[in-house]
Structure 1
Amino acid sequence: MQRSMCVAVIMALSGCATTPIPAEEADPVPIARLLAYQEALVDGATLIVTRDRGFTGSACNTVFFINGKPAAEIGAGERATFQVLPDKRNIIGVSGAGACSTGLKEREVSIGIGDVARYRISIDATMSMDLSPTAF
Structure 2
Amino acid sequence: MKRATCAAMALSALLVAGCSTVPVTTDKALPVPADRVYQPEYLQASADRSSTVVVLRDKGFSGSGCSHDISVNNIKVLSIRQAEGATLHLAPGAYFLKLETGGGLCPNISTSQNLVLAAGERQVYRVLLPSDGNLRLTRQE
Secondary structure of the residue aligned to 1:110 is strand
Higher alpha-carbon Rg: 2
Q: Distance in 1 between matches of 2:55 and 2:103?
A: 20
* Per-residue deviation, 1:97: 4.0
| CA RMSD across the alignment | 1.7
Q: Distance in 2 between matches of 1:35 and 1:48?
A: 17
Question: What pairs with 1:1-136 in structure 2 (closer than 5 Å)?
Answer: 1=2, 2-36=5-39, 37-44=42-49, 45-86=51-92, 88-99=93-104, 100-135=106-141
**Shift in CA distance, 81/97, structure 1 to aligned 2, threshold 3 Å:** farther
Q: Distance in 2 between matches of 1:51 and 1:129?
A: 11
**CA offset digits 1:96-132 (Å, max 9, x no partner):** 1432242210111112111211111001224321001
**Shift in CA distance, 104/18, structure 1 to aligned 2, threshold 3 Å:** same
**CA offset digits 1:30-67 (Å, max 9, x no partner):** 11211222343424211110100111111111111111
User: What is the identity, as a one-letter code, of the residue corresponding to 1:49?
Assistant: V
User: What is the identity, as a one-letter code, of the residue corresponding to 1:78?
Assistant: E
Segments of 5+ residues of structure 1 without an aligned counterpart are none
Contact 1:63 1:97 (C-alpha < 8 Å) held by counterparts? no
- Which has a greater percent of strand? 2
Q: Distance in 2 between matches of 1:101 and 1:41?
A: 37
User: Identical aligned pairs, as a percentage?
Assistant: 25
Using the size of structure 1 for normalisation, the TM-score is 0.88
- How many matched pairs? 134
Secondary structure of the residue aligned to 2:109 is coil
Segments of 5+ residues of structure 2 without an aligned counterpart are none
